[in-house]
Each structure stands twice: as C-alpha cells, then as structure tokens.
Structure 1
C-alpha cells in the first residue's frame, strides 16, 4: 500500500487534531508528504442583501487569513522537524464536497480525518455527516482517526469471503494486501477476521429448514470456514492470526477490537446506488459508533458503467 501523499482534513473547531497526529506518525516512518486542508464556512459571511457585500468579502478573507495563520503555527514544529507540509485553506460548504474536490485535484494515496468528538448527540450527528459522506464517496483509502491514545501495534482486516454484503471478491484481496503492507511498513501485527451469522431460527419460514435447523447451522458454518480458508490460502498468513467467529458484525467487531486491543480496523465499502449507500452506511455507522480504534476504509474499484454505479 503506497503512502507517499497524505491528505489530512483539519477541523478548525478542535484544538487537538488526531488525524494530523496519525499522519505525522506515518510520515515519520516513510517520509510521506503531508497535505493539510482546512475548510471554513459561516452563513453570516455569505452574500446577503441585508449587508454590504464588500464588507462581507473582506470579513471572509480576514477569517481565512486568520485560519491560515493558526494552521501555520500548528505545523511550525513539524516543519522544524523536517517534514514536508503543504497547507490549503478554503471557503465553502459542504465540507466533504471540498475535500472530494481536493482529492480529485491531487489524487492522494490516503485521506485522514478525525472522527467527530462531541458530547452532545445533535453535534455528533451534524459533524459526523461529513465523515459518512466521505465513507460513501471518497475514491481513495480513508483513515478515520479516533481521539483515544494511539498504540500503533495491531490491526485487523474484516473480510467477507462469501460476499454476503455484495462486495466484490477483489475487495477482500485489497484488504489483505493492505493489511500485510501496513504490517510490514509500520510494524503493525495483522489479524484477519471473518464473522458470520446463520439466519435466526425465528426468521426461518421454510418448513424443511425449521425441522433441520441445527444441520443448516452446521452446513452454514462449514461453508464459511471453507471460503475463509480458501481466501487466506493465497497468502503466507499464520493460522494464529486468522479468526472465524460466529455472530453479527456489529457485535463481533467491537468485541474483537476491545479484547485484542486492535489499533486499526480495515473494512471494505461499496456504494453503487442510493439504497446500497443507505444500507452500507447504516451498518458501518453502528460499527464505528461502538469501536474504539481507528478505521481504514478501502473502496472497491468501480465496475460497470457510470449509470450502473
């Protein structure tokens, strides 16, 4: 996984910048270039017939200059350290739209964004929307950074070898390759996890399945095990680093992350249409809301026509 150009989304409302901290941790080990993007917007400084437009323009320019000065002060110690940084302060909304514009301009290897850290539920919902839009639409790997303490020791790739979430087979290979690369480059111990859950007995309406429910569960488990082992068989992965666990992803992943003290969870995402986006976003949101580690989202390569996507 090539990480030479890192785009860091700066939150102008926060004093601490976990995404920048993580990007610096990466850059110190592989001499990556850091591109910082700060997006500012205030409805009060938009053109309005009730206020002088020239005054609003000057006020907006002054605010952007102030943000730029603050950003320069923030990175001054990093420049002195010898890291290569490029700063960009832009005006506009929505924030994720400007981030995606920057991604299109420079094609970074990775985008890093802090996960909103708010005590108020409404504030969390409002600030998290930008993150979820990036999960759905960012075409390059997206690293969502938690505010907790970073240990930088372990990672886990969440795999889906039977593609139950309609993810293409290539996406699992992307996840495994990324996990192996990150482990080698940054000294992270990789784990590979597949969780599966048979249809609950209460939702089985087929008479034959109801009668032979235990047999169905056994066959389902065997099918997942075979697919998981076949997928991992393509790589030199040690058996102790592989985990096949029965249960729903929303429960298994947070528990595994906590028990194994995982620092980074790798997941794949697809979003070909509005319904897919809603469903995938809903599942990912429940996982992200309950895991305590960073989350690296890899997007499946686009397939088919633009209309189909």
Structure 2
C-alpha cells in the first residue's frame, strides 16, 4: 500500500473537517500530496424560471467562490509545506462525483468525514458514505472525530472466509495494517471472532446430542485457520486475538476496550450496479463502532 496520493472529501456544511485533519496527519508522516474535493449543489439552480445561461453563470459563480474560500481555508497547510490541489465541482449525487474523481486520480486512500449527529447508529454513516463503502474501488478511510481515539488499529480477519471473502483479502488486510504500523506508528492488532451455531437453532434431537463435539470441532478449525494465517506474517502472537462470539458484538467491544483508533475491514460487493451491498455482518459492525474505519476491497475489485 502506497501513501503518496490522498483524496479528501470536504464537507462545506460543517465547520470542522475531521477527514482533512486526519489526511494531513498522514501526509506529515509520509510526505503525501493532498487532493481536496468539494461538491456543491443547490436545487434552486436546477431549472425553474431562469434560463440555462443564467443558471450556468450562477453555478459558475458559486464554484468560483467556493474554490477561493476552500483555498484560503487551507492556506496554513500550504504554508506548512503540504502539496495541495483543490477541486470544487457541481453535482447532485455526491457519491457519483466522488467516484468519478477517484477513477481519474487513482488515490492511495480516499478520506471522508462521517459527522455523527444522531443517537440512531444507522445514521452514523450518511447515504454518501454507504454508497462509497459499497462502490469505492480504493481504500476508504471514514473519519469519526477530529481527534483520533487512540494510536492502535485493529484488522478484522476471516480466515475461514465465512463471509465469502477471497482468501487473499485477509493477507491484503494484514499487509495494509503492517504498512500503517510502519509508516504512521500505529500499533496493529489482529482479530478474528468465531461463533458456532447456537444450540437453540438445533431442533433435531440426534444432532443436538452431538452439539458439544460440533462446538469443539468448530473452535479447532477456527484456531488452526487463524494460526496458519498469522504464521505467514511477521506478527507477534500478543497482537493476534481469537475471540468467541458474533463479529457484530465482539468487534465493537474489542474496539472500545482496547481504545482502537482505526478499524480495518474488508468489504465484498454483492449484486450489481446500484444494488451492491457489503455483508450484513459488516454493516451491523459499522453501525456500532465509534472509531475511524478503513474499508478495503479485494485487489482489482470495486
């Protein structure tokens, strides 16, 4: 994973820009260049009584003013020596404009703020964020707060590929985590949560009698797969955690208890076109965490 070209989505509706601050922190340590993207849109300038020429002039004026304002707001970063490019675009569907810019720029990471503002965890991520989680082909770093929670990251692994993940994705997650540990000084932890089928779901009496053997075998298979995966990388055993329980419960709890600042997860797109979805387990995890999230797609897949 390279850390030389960072694309940052600027949210003009908020005064604070956690994504920009996090990207700047990364750039300070790596010398990366920052590409800032701001999307403007006002429904009143999409048709109506004004003719198309006047509408275009109004949109152009807004884009020019926004560009100047954004450039002025990051002048202190330019003075600090950052290499910064500013791009302000007009677009009704923000995620489509962002993905178009990603396709052209091919950044190493896309940064976006989540701006949580509701007690309903589903609203932690806006529709734009969910669309990017599903469709962004490059690593997507969703920033939760201006100040990072801690100096540790956690990579959520799935060595038995129960979520239909390709085997290479776990190695990809580990490699990226090791790069972030080396480049950014983040202490990496590696987590796998495993849970056997609950006894309450077994209705066949004969099968139920063999439940304990099933649990033992399930645990052994997960342990062997996790140990084999970890052994292929230079990972201290103290950094590897195999915990029992459902991922959507274990991962958020581990993040809280270990003051994790960045959760690294793989996402698999299912379906096609606008129906792309990541796994239900992953979505339930995302609704419960309160740290930054780095979403990784398998190499060559968006």
Q: TM-score range by the shorter chain?
A: over 0.9
In structure 2, the residue matched to 1:284 is 282
Among candidates 214, 217, 220, match of residue 215 of structure 2: 217
Distance 1:243 1:276, change over 3 A: farther
Contact 1:159 1:193 in 2 (8 A): yes
* Selected match of 1:263 from 261, 264, 272: 261
1:102 positional shift? 0.5
- Is 1:165 matched up with 2:163? yes
Cα distance per residue 1:240-297 (max 9 Å; x no partner): 11100111111111100000000111000111415984452x4333222211110001
Conserved in 2, the CA contact under 8 Å of 1:148 and 1:292? no
Which residue does 2:73 correspond to in 1? 74
> Segments of 4+ in structure 1 off by > 4 A?
120-123
1:89 corresponds in structure 2 to 88
Q: Aligned to 1:271, what secondary structure does the other structure show? A: coil
For 1:52 and 1:276, how far apart are their aligned partners in 2? 36
State whether structure 2 residue 225 is matched by structure 1 residue 227: yes
Correspondence for 2:292: 294
Task: Give the number of aligned pairs.
Answer: 301
CA shift for structure 1 position 67: 1.3
Please, which runs of 5 or more residues in structure 1 have no aligned partner?
Answer: 304-308
Tell me which residue corresponds to 1:200: 198
Q: Specify the SS of the correspondent of 1:83.
A: coil
SS in 2 for 1:210: helix
* Structure 2: gaps of 5 or more residues: none
In the TM superposition, residue 51 of structure 1 has moved relative to its aligned partner by 2.7
Distance in 2, Cα, partners of 1:216 & 1:123: 35
Q: Say which SS state the counterpart of residue 74 (structure 2) adopts.
A: helix
1:21 counterpart residue number: 21
Deviation at 1:210, TM superposition (A): 1.1
Deviations 1:186-206 (A, max 9, x none): 111110000011111122244
Cα deviation, 1:118-155, whole Å, max 9, x if unaligned, reads: 34869948x71111111111111110100252155101
Q: What CA distance in whole angstroms lies between the structure 2 residues aligned with 1:217 and 1:121?
A: 35
Match of 1:45? Answer: 45
Residue deviations 1:25-54 (CA, integer Å, cap 9, x gap): 000011100000001111111123x33333
**CA 1:10–1:262: 2 relative to 1, 3 Å:** same
- Please name the residue that 1:306 is paired with: none
CA RMSD of aligned residues (A): 2.1
CA–CA distance in structure 1, aligned partners of residues 106 and 216 of structure 2: 46
TM-score, L = length of structure 1: 0.92
